[in-house]
Structure 1
Amino acid sequence: MTANDPFRSSYRGVPAGTRLNGIYEIEAMIGAGGMGEVYRCREIQTGSPVAVKMLLPDMVDNEAALALFRREAAALHNLPHEAIVRYFLFTVEPVLQRPYLAMEFVNGRSLSNMLDDGPLTFEALIKLMQRVASGLQAAHEHGIIHRDVSPDNIIVPLDDIRRAKIIDFGIARSTQMGDKTIIGSGFAGKDNYASPEQVGLYGNDVTAKSDVYSFGLVLFQALTGQKLDMGGSQFQLVEKRRRVPDLGAVDLRIRPLLERMLHPDPALRPTMAEVANWAPAASAQPSAVPLHGFDPLGKPEAGTSAQQERVPSTTRNSRRIWLGACVAGLLLLLGGGGYSFYKFVWSSSGLAALPPPPKLAATPAPPRIEPAPPQPARQEPVKLPSQPTVTPSSSPDGPGRAERIRRYVAQYAGGDCFFILPVAVSASAAVIEGFGASTAPFDTFDKAFRKEQGFEASVGVRQVNPAQCPAVKFLSQVGSDQARAPRINLSATELKAGETLNGTIENFANRVVELLMVSDRGEVQSLSYLLKPGIDSLSFALPMARSTGPQLLLVVAAPRVLDSLRQPRPMAADTFFLQAISEAQRGNVTLTAAARYVMLTN
């Protein structure tokens, strides 16, 4: 028995209702490992769900555990990509004195769990491959090697593989910082998906090509429904990786690619960018229906069933006993009928892990003569302190200090295309959301905030196109009163072109509500006619146009109808919002507004 055994036998986790830094409130524990726990929490200010990873009390002073924790926070903070789980905050809870990492909470189940139902079709596999490879490519471009790519570390929201997300960067290695791994010099993660370099071959030099090898093993399993036997003793791990494994069960159309991905020599493997851009010769147009399971946002096609995405299997082999230990870590979340999985890589049980920002189908408007719109902007990473920063907030000045921070944020001027909103603030931590066309003013704000407040805020930037800047300026003029601003709840913040965006609007009291969409080209369209009244809320279902790019969904509340907010045709954003402000000023009308960022993808 170890010194910690008595503690672990009585410890039952952090109770529901516990508040973290005055920002999050714990609702339930949804996962636990050898060194940490995962909780479903809610933001106190907004009620939004958040996933929080927290070290166990007896691991707080463990340098290796802290290093892994810090590593995941640093990796996620540098990876703004829709296929990678989003990071919010990394700090220490001053009362519990425990470091925690707050990040995106996504309902879904792991790819490993999905494959228990059978393999993917070839078409579904290609979509999965392109999605995950694009996320890993983004990581590689930022100098981050995941080093634990496996089906457990790919989460599939709503069973739609087109929205798959990569999770668990706890053992990721940064090639830019030149640091060494915490767990050995090369191997980390699940041995069955390890690359030859991770088990000691080719100089033990783990590079981005190692993720390519691991992902090749994942694709084999997703397509065949069977996992390649690449595990065993240390000797077996090495010997099985001296040659390309038997790929006889793989579809001939993709077998050459997998042969290259699973080549023992990393120099002969393709890059992740090549994998992301690979397509089968003379491939058919992608289906408009979900590629796996039921998609509540999709439109059903006649004669098409989600079951067609599965390959019938008459010889389903039972899983090995040890796989049951992995699956035992998967916890069913209450509500929505979905699963959410979160994982600590240092958990001996291999606990399954965790892991959101479209253009409207509308009456055609005369095309504007302007340069082609820029490529969809990625969400900028939040700022991360190199070490967890804590300012004790137990003093009587705590609430007053939080209010002063909110006032500072509300009064800060960063330019015409700059808007920031305090999502959650306490005396020692702040989560701030921003909208802008450039990251430069947010870098300036970050430095000013740190100098003025004494700690570093977590700032998430939603980067818009320049044509959308008039909407951002409008928000800065009328959107700072968070208490009176309407609240927008969306079914998703990332959609495929042509899908439907569902949502509700709350907190508008007896005011008139206007629903606006600002396209990536800077055209504003009034959609208020789509609002349906309910009990204390309004609902909407917006069919999205078949294009791509960032879209801004605005909700404006006013005490009476303003004609300028109900234009019958799409209008340029600069003209639209100038007219709205002018009419409000003439009539002495107070406007409040809220915005959500939605990304349309192919």
Structure 2
Amino acid sequence: MDYEERILSFKNSRFEIEKGIVLQDRYMVEKMLGGGFEGEVYQCREMYTGHMVAAKIFYPERNKQFKKSIIYAKKLIKLSSTPIIMDYISHETMWLDGVKHACIFSEYIEGILLSEFLDDQKGKRLDSFLALHLLHAIVRGVEQIHRNGEYHGDLHLDNIIIQRVGLEFKLKIIDLHHWGDSKKDNRDEDIIKIIRIFYDLLGGPKHYQKLPPAIKEVICGLKRGLILKKFRTITQLRNHLELMEWTDGILYF
């Protein structure tokens, strides 16, 4: 199922924005893509060019004085050179039911959620080679976020979008978070969550004991202390992956 087909029914929308509604005299709503704690996301088509964009409309009670939306927009701008992050377009305000709302327009990303990609695989798991390939792609992308002095804040299978391009996978990470506490702690948490994603890609607890030793050395039994002792930074994790020996046990498990 393509990313654009994963639609929440409009009846589940608090805003009740229907297909065909025009936002900011420019973007025509195509469909609702999803909703969460902070607001709702819509796929929109620019009226004069047909260009697709995503519009995230924030719930006003979650976005007092537009603080969260402004922080989110500034984070997207700061990470604009990071390929794994969606491209920022604009931060705007609009009136809905007599209340002023913030809306961020950004790149519309095609593909499927990593969780859906995993569900489509035999046994709902990946072989070690493909899992390592995806892990390395995620690590390289998040490494660029960390190098820019930022973090993601909530990495999991449902906020990574994957698109297969030939022999490669193009990844995009959505739903950046700002927790307001230590950036170092949040970067550490990104590492922990990435290892958890790797563990889930390989089948989770059901298959962990059968994994090759080299793979277990990366997962560290999901023990936070062991993971952060071995991989103090995400660059150390990337270096470890790039120096791994590609034995038959890893390739074909």
TM tier, smaller: 0.7 to 0.9
User: Of 195, 215, 233, which residue of structure 2 is paired with 1:216?
Assistant: 195
1:30 aligns with 2:8: no
With structure 1 as the length reference, what TM-score do the two structures score? Answer: 0.34
Which residue type is aligned with residue 136 of structure 1? V
User: Of 171, 174, 177, which residue of structure 2 is paired with 1:167?
Assistant: 174
Cα 1:251/1:45, change in 2 over 3 Å: farther
Residues 72, 168 of structure 1: 8 Å contact kept: no
Which residue type is aligned with residue 246 of structure 2? S
1:258 aligns with 2:236: no
Match of 2:46 in 1: 43
Residues 136, 238 of structure 2: 8 Å contact kept: yes
Residues 54, 108 of structure 2: 8 Å contact kept: yes
Which residue type is aligned with residue 276 of structure 1? R
Which residue type is aligned with residue 114 of structure 1? F
Q: Report how far residue 22 of structure 1 moved.
A: 2.7
* Other structure's SS at 1:139 match: helix
CA distance, structure 1, for counterparts of residue 13 and residue 134 of structure 2: 43
* Other structure's SS at 1:218 match: helix
* Other structure's SS at 1:254 match: helix
CA distance, structure 2, for counterparts of residue 15 and residue 119 of structure 1: 37
Q: Report how far residue 15 of structure 1 moved.
A: 2.7
User: Of 1, 14, 18, which residue of structure 1 is paired with 2:21?
Assistant: 18
Which residue type is aligned with residue 22 of structure 2? R
* Other structure's SS at 1:101 match: strand
Cα 1:25/1:310, change in 2 over 3 Å: farther
Q: Report how far residue 264 of structure 1 moved.
A: 1.7
Which residue type is aligned with residue 254 of structure 1? I
1:128 aligns with 2:107: no
With structure 2 as the length reference, what TM-score do the two structures score? Answer: 0.76
* Other structure's SS at 2:84 match: coil
Residues 129, 252 of structure 2: 8 Å contact kept: no
CA distance, structure 1, for counterparts of residue 60 and residue 110 of structure 2: 29
1:276 aligns with 2:238: yes
CA distance, structure 2, for counterparts of residue 158 and residue 11 of structure 1: 33
CA distance, structure 2, for counterparts of residue 310 and residue 131 of structure 1: 20
* Other structure's SS at 1:206 match: helix
Moved more, 43-52 or 18-27: 18-27
Residues 42, 50 of structure 1: 8 Å contact kept: yes
Match of 1:99 in 2: 102
Query: Which structure has the highest helix share of the two?
Result: 2
CA distance, structure 1, for counterparts of residue 252 and residue 130 of structure 2: 9
Q: Report how far residue 221 of structure 1 moved.
A: 0.9
Cα 1:251/1:86, change in 2 over 3 Å: farther
Which residue type is aligned with residue 90 of structure 1? H
Structure 2, unmatched stretches of 5+, are: 1-10
CA distance, structure 2, for counterparts of residue 102 and residue 130 of structure 1: 29
Cα 1:100/1:124, change in 2 over 3 Å: same
Residues 25, 42 of structure 1: 8 Å contact kept: yes
Q: Deviations over 1:435-456 (max 9, x none)?
A: xxxxxxxxxxxxxxxxxxxxxx
Residues 112, 162 of structure 2: 8 Å contact kept: yes
Q: Deviations over 1:510-529 (max 9, x none)?
A: xxxxxxxxxxxxxxxxxxxx
CA distance, structure 2, for counterparts of residue 165 and residue 28 of structure 1: 20
CA distance, structure 1, for counterparts of residue 95 and residue 133 of structure 2: 44
Match of 1:110 in 2: 113
Superposition CA RMSD, Å: 3.4
CA distance, structure 2, for counterparts of residue 93 and residue 258 of structure 1: 46
* Other structure's SS at 2:134 match: helix
1:75 aligns with 2:75: yes
Q: Report how far residue 60 of structure 1 moved.
A: 1.9
Cα 1:32/1:261, change in 2 over 3 Å: closer
CA distance, structure 1, for counterparts of residue 111 and residue 161 of structure 2: 6
Q: Report how far residue 150 of structure 1 moved.
A: 0.8
Cα 1:23/1:249, change in 2 over 3 Å: farther
Match of 1:514 in 2: none
1:119 aligns with 2:125: yes
State the number of aligned residues.
Answer: 231
Residues 262, 269 of structure 1: 8 Å contact kept: no
Residues 110, 155 of structure 1: 8 Å contact kept: yes
Larger radius of gyration between Structure 1 and Structure 2: 1
Q: Report how far residue 141 of structure 1 moved.
A: 1.0
Residues 93, 99 of structure 1: 8 Å contact kept: yes
